[in-house]
Amino acid sequence: MKFILAHATARQRAIDAVRQAPEGMVVLIKEPVRTLPQNSIMHAMVADISRQCQFAGEDMPEEDWKRVMVDAFYRATINDEKFKKLWADCAPRTVMNLDGSGTVELGAQTRRFPKALMSAMVDYLGAWGAEMDVEWSASDA
């Protein structure tokens, strides 16, 4: 079962379900994840950045720009108290590769971003893009 604690009735239904649940069941309370409109805006902004900007003098595909921008956003916000908890389940990380000769960068999973984190990510892209004179497409408005 899934309950969105949006009002008193929903909260009461969740409490009732917990009371009636058999022993051994698990209850998870978490921030809601990003919305589809937030995701669409973020991807449109990354597409605009990809079309108009270069990284280290080279063009990069959207997926690469997305990884670079999420990493930059992570580094800019991880020490901010209001973001530390939000990064808990979706932060980028580095692991050793299978033969131990190097590392693999595991990018942050934006599909797991809480709404508040995705909102801040869109704001971050907007600010970064403004500094780089990115012209946003109409879909970003």
User: Looking at this protein, which amino acid is placed at residue 28?
Assistant: L
Per-residue pLDDT tens digits for 51-73: 999 999 999 999 999 999 999 99
pLDDT value of residue 106: 87
| Three-state DSSP string of 38-60 | HHHHHHHHHHHHHHHCCECCECC
Residue 64, Ramachandran bin (φ over 0: left; ψ between -120 and 50: alpha; else beta): alpha
What percentage of the chain has pLDDT greater than the value 90? 80
Residue 88's pLDDT band (cuts 50, 70, 90): confident
What percentage of the chain has pLDDT greater than the value 70? 97
- Is the torsion defined by CA of 84, 86, 92, 93 positive or negative? positive
Cβ neighbours for 24, distance < 8 A, ≥ 6 positions apart? none
Cβ neighbours for 107, distance < 8 A, ≥ 6 positions apart? 67, 70, 71, 92
Higher-pLDDT residue of 17 and 140 is 17
Residue 125 reports pLDDT greater than 90: yes
